[in-house]
Amino acid sequence: MKGIRSLLAPYAVASLAVGSVLLLTLLLQPLLKQTIFLLFFAAVAVSAWYGGMEAGLLATALSTLAVSYFFLEPVFSLLVASLDNIVGLGLFEKSSCRDQNILDPPKSPDKLGDFDSGSPLFKGG
């Protein structure tokens, strides 16, 4: 049972981070009209820092759905009607993925295990 908890913890943190930011953004919506993504970047960063790339991707997906449903016109619909909103969502996703690579960089080859030096993909010396 402890193994399942440790596997699910990063995804729970991602879900809680996005949920908390959603509630805070709903409360502060009049102040955050032009910067609606601001707090969602923080949720993605915390998720990627705590749980790695997978948790960060979950936070990115949940954030994108939350912003699309609660804040973009038409409200309470996942339909994104304007080109500005589509571009905004795309930039948010791109920036979030970039931040995840900074916070959880790919493992170096020496930490991944032994390579087959006869492989055509191996270019070491």
pLDDT tens-digit series, residues 55-114? 999 999 999 999 999 999 899 999 998 999 999 999 999 988 887 777 777 665 554 454
CA distance 71 to 88: 12
Distance set, CA 71 to CA 35, 68, 78, 108 (Å): 11, 6, 10, 40
Residue 118 lies inside a defined structural domain of this protein: no
Which distant-in-sequence residues (6+ apart) come within 8 Å of 66 by Cβ?
Answer: 18, 22, 40
Report if residue 107 sits inside a domain.
yes
Q: What is the pLDDT of residues 18-40, one digit of tens each?
A: 999 999 999 999 888 788 898 99
DSSP state letter for 105 = P
Distance in angstroms between the alpha carbons of the first and the last residue of the chain: 45
Structural domain total, the chain: 1
Q: Is residue 11 part of a domain?
A: yes
- Domain residues for 39? 2-112
Structure tokens at 14: 């991602």
Q: What is the pTM of this model?
A: 0.79
